[in-house]
Amino acid sequence: MAARAGEANYSAEDNLLGRIKLGNLSKKANSCSVLGAPNPLVFHYLWSGLSNIEHPASLYNDFSHPLNEIKMIKHHWVNGNLTPVGQAHLPVSDLAILRGFGIFDFFLVKEGFPIFFRDYLNRFFASADQLYLPIPFSRQEMHSAVLEVIRANGLQKGAIRLVMTGGVASDGFTPSSPNVMILAHEDHPLPGRYYQEGAALLPFEYQRDLPRVKTINYSMGIHLRRDLQRLDAFEALYHQGGKLSETFRSNIFAVLPGPILVTPGSHMLHGITRKRVLELAGSEMKVEVRDLYLDELQSAQECFITGSNKGVMPINRVGYQRIGTGHPGEVTRFFMKAFAELQRNDETFFG
Ligand SMILES: Cc1ncc(COP(=O)(O)O)c(C=O)c1O
């Protein structure tokens, strides 16, 4: 009955905090600092002069920050040609612009080499297949083009983004010849405090369209930026009726009593980092890939998220619910270290 009363008063804020599922928990955030919202342009100039100062990463942790282009990225690759950054454009009637229709993928470059490259290339081609969009370049051509972009920018440490749009649509709806881009991004590390102390997540009831496809549509995640800031949360944790899928840019893992490592297996993107963590976990601990619920996090000893731009990141709070001791636990720290090691020793590019 209490839950029903809660539902009757269900508001956007309730959704954000997963309050229905976490109904009886403390309603008071214990470490909720409210950051002022900086104007992105002001922030950009501030940041250019003070590059060693930490910034509110929940809003600005994307590798596409314009400063990256200004500092060193000189060339992208567009439809087969290395192109100066300032001349890399899309036609205005491309479906990416009109309808947000397109795919992408994103991976790190370390010491001049793309990390876990084969996995990302495979996922890019799989995403295209699922949208019935043939990529007008072969795997070998895409492979060579990525190396060309890395070389042209002298990129030792950074990231590459593959993008393919639906192409120009004369009727504004039907895909035509896709536009394919390879964009280079400079390194943009996240603030160390997220790894030392853990980050917070904001539960939000939502299901991404076409969850197995890495589409370019992140509208909901971007829309939630003010709520994230208000609750000092790093990312939003999507769920449906309390069943977790993923965050808007990461996969989620919980360490439940046992210990058992649990991660959802459906309604989410099959992350490359998640795949590697599951491989690492195989020989170390009991693993369950199954439905995971928001209320199970009340008894979680640890929780972490995984993603290409962040590796393994500890989570210390979900909504108002503190996770475990509120500090990164032993299992999370194991995976942080083991995954970093795996990245360092990655030789899949050569294989
Ligand atoms: C929606 C979503 N889920 C999960 C992930 C994590 O995937 P990966 O580890 O391949 O970066 C991402 C990464 O961007 C994502 O956007």
Ligand 1 pocket mutation, candidates 269, 305, 308, criterion most atoms within 8 A of CB: 269
Rounded to 5°, angle at Cα 309 from 40 and 159: 85
pLDDT score at 15: 55
Phi/psi-derived region of residue 164, left when phi > 0, alpha when psi is between -120 and 50, beta in every other case: beta
Decide: residue 98, CB within 10 A, 0-12 exposed, 13-18 middle, 19+ buried: middle
Ligand 1 geometric centre to CA of 236 (Å): 13
Contacts of 293 (CB under 8 A, 6+ apart): 21, 239, 242, 243, 244
Question: Does the Cβ of 264 fall within 6 Å of ligand 1?
Answer: no
Tens digit of each residue's pLDDT, the chain (351 residues): 333 333 333 344 555 554 433 332 222 232 222 222 332 322 222 222 222 223 333 333 444 545 544 569 999 999 999 999 999 999 999 999 999 999 999 999 999 999 999 999 999 999 999 999 999 999 999 999 999 999 999 999 999 999 999 999 999 999 999 999 999 999 999 999 999 999 999 999 999 999 999 999 999 999 999 999 999 999 999 999 999 999 999 999 999 999 999 999 999 999 999 999 999 998 889 999 999 999 999 999 999 999 999 999 999 999 999 999 999 999 999 999 999 999 998 877 654
Ligand 1 pocket, 215 CB below 6 A?
Answer: no
> Which residue is closest in CA terms to ligand 1's atom 16?
249
Query: How do beta strands 260-263 and 286-289 pair?
Result: parallel
8 Å CB contact between 238 and 245: yes
Centre of ligand 1 to C-alpha 6, Å, is 32
Angstrom distance (rounded) from CA 189 to CA 177: 35
pLDDT at residue 349, as a whole number: 66
Both tokens of 23, joined, read 């109904």
Coil/strand/helix, residue 39: coil
> Would you say the CB of residue 251 lies under 6 angstroms from ligand 1?
yes
What is the reported pLDDT for 151?
97
Can you give the pLDDT at residue 105?
A: 98
User: Quick check: CB of 306 below 6 Å from ligand 1?
Assistant: yes
Ligand 1 pocket residue status of 246, Cβ below 6 Å: yes
Of ligand 1's listed atoms, the one at least distance from the Cα of 274 is 9
Ligand 1, atom 7, residue with closest C-alpha: 271
Mark 232-265 as b/e (b = at least 16 C-beta within 10 Å): bbbbbbbbeebbbbbbbbbbbbbbbeebebbbbe
pLDDT for position 56: 36
